[in-house]
Amino acid sequence: MERLPDLDPADPRPIHQQIAARVREAIESGVLQPGDRVPGENLLMTRYAVSRWTAREALALLANSGLITKVPKVGTFVRDQRRLQRKPRRYRRQRGTAEFATEARAAGLHPDIEADSRVVEAAEDIAARLEIPAGTEVMRTEYRFLADGRPIQLATSFEPFDLTRDTPIERPEEGPLAGTGVITRMDSIGVEITRVAEEVSTRLPSPGETEALRVPSGVPVFCIHRTFSTDQRPVEIADIVIPGDRYALTYEFRVTEDDDPVTL
């Protein structure tokens, strides 16, 4: 019945770590395939003659490292580790469609975008990133990106309101240019975006993000701070949160001489 090997009495590690190692080896060697049921708490208790806590802790180790998923009242299963999607990050003019929708369709998924815009006063950190005084009016837009109905990306963008006030693109996701992307929209009011900067960090999701993105426990998220700028000033910043298990971010450059900047 049980494929898991015995423990090694000479192993100095705690028992729960040894049990976790046995299960891990079974997964990494392919004995247990993604989606397979992992021996549960009861099974581990009897198999290794340990208490509930020890078995539970062993599984917790694996769940926290993202190797397995616990489904309450159903069982524990090997997680699928594949990264299904890519996020090529290039920025071009005249795109005609926003990044996300293009990517999703390329992956055969039906994209959907929910957006909620309102004018707010810029907080300290937002103001600093937009290089405007704190308290200045900005248009803040919260996005939820859905693929086949599942939320897959969150973003909050800020645009200085003095730029877009009383223009057709006052609200990013309304009007004729909805869904075309920042560069196209800004172009339409004569604002030429020439630079993009992204700062990528990673962390475990907050409880709110766990819920909104439905990420399994133990899966980190990417957090991207993106800035679109003209030659003069930043004109849009966005904070983007992406599940780390479903995306890889790709960046490409061309190497140039000396102090000349990079290109692809």
Residue labelled with tokens 């890519």:
86
Question: Which of 186, 182, 193 is CA-nearest to residue 155?
Answer: 182
Q: Which uninterrupted H or E stretch holds 128?
A: helix 124-130
Nearer to DNA (CB atom), residue 53 or residue 251: 53
Q: Which of 37, 47, 89, 144 binds a second copy (CB under 8 A)?
A: 89
Nearer to DNA (CB atom), residue 19 or residue 147: 19
- Give the dihedral sign, CA 177/106/88/147: positive
Q: Which of 77, 91, 137, 167 binds a second copy (CB under 8 A)?
A: 91
258 binds, among DNA, a second copy, none (CB under 5 to 8 A by kind): a second copy
Interface size with a second copy, residues (CB under 8 A): 53
234-243/150-160 β-pairing: antiparallel
The upper half-sphere exposure of residue 216, i.e. CA atoms within 13 Å in the direction of its Cβ, equals 21
10 binds, among a second copy, DNA, none (CB under 5 to 8 A by kind): none
Q: Name every residue whose Cβ is closer than 8 Å to that of residue 70 and which is 6 or more positions away in sequence.
A: 59, 63, 76
Q: Which uninterrupted H or E stretch holds 59?
A: helix 52-64
Binding flag, residue 30, a second copy (CB under 8 A): no
Binding flag, residue 251, a second copy (CB under 8 A): yes
233 binds, among DNA, a second copy, none (CB under 5 to 8 A by kind): none
What string marks each residue from 134 to 173 as x (binds a second copy by CB under 8 A) or -?
----------------------------------------
Rounded to whole angstroms, the Cα distance separating 41 from 29 reads: 21
204 binds, among a second copy, DNA, none (CB under 5 to 8 A by kind): a second copy
Nearer to a second copy (CB atom), residue 114 or residue 180: 180
Give the pair of three-digit tokens for residue 192: 């030429």
**In the complex, least distance from residue 41 CB atom to DNA, rounded to whole angstroms:** 4
